[in-house]
Amino acid sequence: MEKMKLQEGLIFVAIFFLAYTQQLVGGQPQPHEGCQTRCGNVTIEYPFGTSPRCYYAEDPSFKLTCNETEKLLFGNIPAINISHNGELRVRVPPSYSCYNSRGNSSGSLYHTIRLVNLSLSTKNRFTAVGCNTYAFLSTYGVANHSFGCMSMCDSPPEANGECSGKGCCESSVPRGSNFFGVQPYSFNNNTSVHSFNPCSYAFLVENGTFNFDALEDLKNLRNVTDFPVVLDWSIGKQTCEQVGNTSICGGNSTCFDSTRGVGYNCKCFEGFEGNPYLSYGCHDIDECTSSRHNCSDPNTCRNKVGGFYCKCQSGYHLDTNTMNCKRKDVGWTIILLGTIIGFLVILLVVSFIKQKMKHHKNTELRQKFFEQNGGGMLIQRLSGAGPANVDVKIFTEVGMKEATNGYDKSRILGQGGQGTVYKGILPDNSIVAIKKARLGDNSQVEQFINEVLVLSQINHRNVVKLLGCCLETEIPLLVYEYITSGTLFDHLHGSLFDSSLTWEHRLRIAIEVAGTLAYLHSSASIPIIHRDVKTANILLDENLTAKVADFGASRLIPMDKEQLTTMVQGTLGYLDPEYFNTGLLNEKSDVYSFGVVLMELLSGQTALCFERPQTSKHLVSYFASAMKENRLHEIIDGQVMTEENQREIHEAARVAVECTRVTGEERPRMKEVAAELEALRVKTTKFKRSDQYPETEEIENLLGVQILTTQGDTSSTGYDSINNVPILDIEAGR
Q: Which of 658, 591, 593 is nearest to 624 (CA)?
A: 658
Distance CA 19, CA 16 (A): 5
Range list for CATH 1.10.510.10 in the chain: 488-727
**Per annotation, catalytic residue among 232, 532, 550, 576:** 532
pLDDT in tens, 578-602: 988 888 888 899 999 999 999 999 9
Domain 285-337 indexed as CATH 2.10.25.10: yes
**Sheet of 419-425: strands edge to edge?**
393-394, 466-470, 477-481, 431-436, 419-425, 412-416
User: How deeply is 239 buried, as exposed, middle or buried, from its count of CB atoms within 10 A (0-12, 13-18, 19+)?
Assistant: middle
Distance CA 461, CA 730 (A): 11
Q: Does position 564 have pLDDT exceeding 80, yes or no? A: no
Examine the residue annotation and report whether 319 is marked as an active-site residue of this protein.
no
The CATH H-level superfamily of 488-727 is Transferase(Phosphotransferase) domain 1 (1.10.510.10)
| DSSP secondary structure, 293-331, as one string | ---SSGGGEEEETTEEEE-PPTTEEEETTTTEEEEPPHH
Distance CA 50, CA 667 (A): 67
Region 375-481: CATH code: 3.30.200.20
Neighbours of 338 (CB within 10 A): 10
Query: Are 698 and 689 contacting, i.e. CB atoms less than 8 angstroms apart?
Result: no
Helix 503-522 vs helix 587-603: crossing angle, to nearest 10: 180
Distance CA 448, CA 455 (A): 10
- Please give the pLDDT value at position 384: 64
Neighbours of 579 (CB within 10 A): 24
* Dihedral sign, Cα of residue 664, residue 667, residue 672, residue 677: negative
**pLDDT-based confidence at 241, cuts 50/70/90?**
very high
CA 421 to the chain's CA centroid:
22
How do beta strands 466-470 and 393-394 pair?
parallel
Question: What single DSSP character describes residue 288?
Answer: T
Range list for CATH 2.10.25.10 in the chain: 285-337
Distance CA 563, CA 567 (A): 13
Query: Are 86 and 234 contacting, i.e. CB atoms less than 8 angstroms apart?
Result: yes
- Please give the pLDDT value at position 706: 31
Neighbours of 563 (CB within 10 A): 17
- Please give the pLDDT value at position 255: 95
**pLDDT-based confidence at 453, cuts 50/70/90?**
confident
pLDDT in tens, 165-218: 888 999 998 887 878 888 898 888 777 777 788 889 999 999 999 999 888 888
Distance CA 342, CA 418 (A): 52
Q: Mean pLDDT across the chain, nearest whole number?
A: 80
- Provide the CATH topology of domain 239-284: Laminin (2.10.25)
More confidently predicted of 550 and 697:
550
Q: Does position 413 have pLDDT exceeding 70, yes or no? A: yes
Distance CA 677, CA 526 (A): 25
Range list for CATH 3.30.200.20 in the chain: 375-481
Written as one letter, the residue type at 87 is: E
